[in-house]
Amino acid sequence: MTTPSTDATSPQAEAPAARRLLIVGPPGAGKGTQAARIAEELSIPAISTGDIFRANVSGQTELGLLAKSYMDKGEYVPDSVTNDMVRSRLAEDDAQDGFLLDGYPRTLDQVEALDGMLTELGSALDCVLLLVVDAEEVVQRLVARGAESGRSDDTEETIRRRLEVYADQTAPLIDVYDRRGLVRRVNGMASIDEVTQSLREALATR
């Protein structure tokens, strides 16, 4: 089998081969903005668990109604329901050639579930993009955003708690993907355009 050329002038060099991606970063790191940019460039869907939940609930799917029954009682939606929603989304036509997951997996059990889903689909993650940020600067950024938008959940106490939860939940996930050689760390404190360029370079050099 002939190995594709990696010369800088070849078509393969112009677009990174990594197309099954996960973006990770704490609240306020700019994941949503960067996910949308990278997904558009690669012509793959940016898939967030928030979007999946909203689509299922508004569409009154069986899974959406089940999730809503927990949410209406103020209870945590079980992993099994979240996993089934993600499995259904990844099986859709637009995700067959790649996807960028944002907000999933959040737990080690979800990492295992995602592994199973991708095995069923005959694929695997290509790369995990980790936005590295300064916690104190993120706190100030989100507090300022809360003041501007009137968001009641952007108090300093709430933000610090969300960052603690993220750190507790995400560190084990990063360790798992690090051992697989998938993690690419990018400085999330740079300008939006600089972060996007760094993500491009991370994908091109994986």
- 68 annotated active-site: no
Phi then psi dihedrals of residue 154, to 5 deg: -105, 45
Distance CA(85)–CA(141), nearest Å, equals 32
- 145 annotated active-site: yes
Q: Under a CB-based contact definition with an 8 Å cutoff, are residues 131 and 100 in contact?
A: no
User: Which pair of structure tokens corresponds to residue 145?
Assistant: 């955003």
Distance CA(31)–CA(49), nearest Å, equals 13
| Residue closest to 170 by CA, chosen among 106, 122, 121, 98 | 106
Choosing from 89, 141, 162, 184, the catalytic residue is 162
- 184 annotated active-site: no
- 162 annotated active-site: yes
Letter string b/e over residues 73-82, b meaning 16 or more CB atoms within 10 A of that residue's CB: eeeebeeebb
95: how many CB neighbours lie within 10 A of its CB? Answer: 18
User: Which pair of structure tokens corresponds to residue 136?
Assistant: 């104190």
Phi then psi dihedrals of residue 55, to 5 deg: -65, -40
- 20 annotated active-site: no
Choosing from 31, 37, 89, 141, the catalytic residue is 31
Distance CA(21)–CA(203), nearest Å, equals 9
Strands (E), 55-194: 99-102, 127-132, 183-187
Choosing from 106, 160, 185, 200, the catalytic residue is 106
Catalytic amino acids? 31, 106, 145, 151, 162
